[in-house]
Structure formats: C-alpha cells, structure tokens
C-alpha cells in the first residue's frame, strides 16, 4: 500500500518560496565552502575575487564588480585586504584602477583551485554530479535574469 505524504500549510509555503529555499541552500553551501575551501584567513568571497583576477589579468575594479555582482565599496574593502596581504597589486591609471595578482596571489589561487575540486566532489557525492552541474547552471541563469531585471 502506497503511503501519501501531505504537507501542512507552513511546509507548502516554505517549499514554494524561492527566497526561503535559496537562502537555506546558500547557508548550507556556505558552511560547506568554509569547511572545504582552504584560504587561510580569507573567506571564500575573497578566493573568488582572486580567481577572477587570475582569469582577467590587469582587470579594472569596475569590471571586477560586474563579474562578482558586488558594490564598488565592497570591492574596495576586499582589494584593500588582498593588497595588504600582498596577494594583489593595485595600479591607478587615470580614473581606472587595475588589479593583478602577485606571485603570492598565484600560489593562493593554485591552492584555491585544488580545494574547489574537493568542494565539488563533496557536494556531488550528496547531490550527484549531473544534478550539481545542472543546479549550478540553473542558478547562474536565474541570477543573470534577475540582475538584468534590476
């Protein structure tokens, strides 16, 4: 005999609320990232900034903000910390600020890439590889659509 599971109104609202579901997922994946991604004293957000700079040498601060979907004030705070740690160089040219990695930044990036693979393996073990890849792609596309709407 097949058992029918019924949800109460609270569960229905939470399951169908994208804001709640996305926030819950973000908290879970953040905990996993903080446990898996080894950036020393750097939070995962800094590591992704380092990766963007690695892929885009001499990137402008404005381009960096666009790629990471962050405010200029946030990027300034991040860049200040990374520059203090000698991970990035900042070069002002007219009205533009260009960011590049130092040799230390290259080492941090290499370490980050290795731990990123470890994190993917960790959540793929639970979610499945194809599901993980598809979920990431769908979230990326959804974010792009919502950002265009703003």
pLDDT at 60 (0 to 100): 95
pLDDT at 56 (0 to 100): 96
Going from the C-alpha of 24 to that of each of 11, 20, 145, the distances in angstroms are 14, 6, 21
The average confidence (pLDDT) of the chain is 90
Query: Which residue in this structure is represented by tokens 């930044």?
Result: 105
Reply yes or no on domain 9-149 having CATH 1.10.357.10. Answer: no
Q: What percent of the chain has pLDDT over 70?
A: 94
pLDDT at 7 (0 to 100): 64
pLDDT at 10 (0 to 100): 78
113 is written with which tokens?
């890439």
pLDDT digits (tens, 9 = 90+) for 52-71: 999 999 999 999 999 998 99
What are the boundaries of each domain within the chain? Answer: 9-149
pLDDT digits (tens, 9 = 90+) for 19-62: 999 999 999 999 998 888 877 778 888 999 999 999 999 999 99
Q: Please state the rounded mean pLDDT for residues 126-139.
A: 96
pLDDT at 14 (0 to 100): 79
Predicted TM-score of the model (pTM)? 0.76
pLDDT at 59 (0 to 100): 97
CA distance 42 to 40: 5
CA distance 3 to 5: 6
Q: What does the DSSP assignment read for 30-68? A: HHHHHHH---TT--HHHHHHHHHHHHSTTEEHHHHHHHH
pLDDT at 12 (0 to 100): 79
């Amino acid at each position: 005999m097949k058992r029918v599971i019924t949800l109460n109104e609270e569960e229905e609202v939470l399951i169908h609320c994208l804001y709640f579901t996305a926030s819950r997922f973000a908290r879970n994946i953040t905990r996993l990232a903080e446990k898996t991604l080894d950036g020393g004293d750097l939070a995962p957000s800094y590591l992704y900034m380092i990766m963007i700079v690695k892929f885009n040498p001499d990137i402008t601060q404005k381009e960096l903000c666009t790629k990471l979907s962050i405010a200029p004030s946030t990027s300034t705070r991040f860049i200040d910390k990374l520059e203090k740690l000698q991970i990035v160089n900042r070069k002002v040219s007219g009205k533009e600020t260009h960011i590049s990695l130092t040799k230390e930044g290259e080492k941090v990036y290499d370490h980050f890439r290795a731990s990123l693979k470890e994190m993917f393996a960790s959540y793929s073990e639970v979610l499945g590889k194809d599901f993980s890849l598809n979920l990431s792609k769908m979230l990326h596309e959804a974010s792009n659509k919502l950002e265009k709407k703003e």
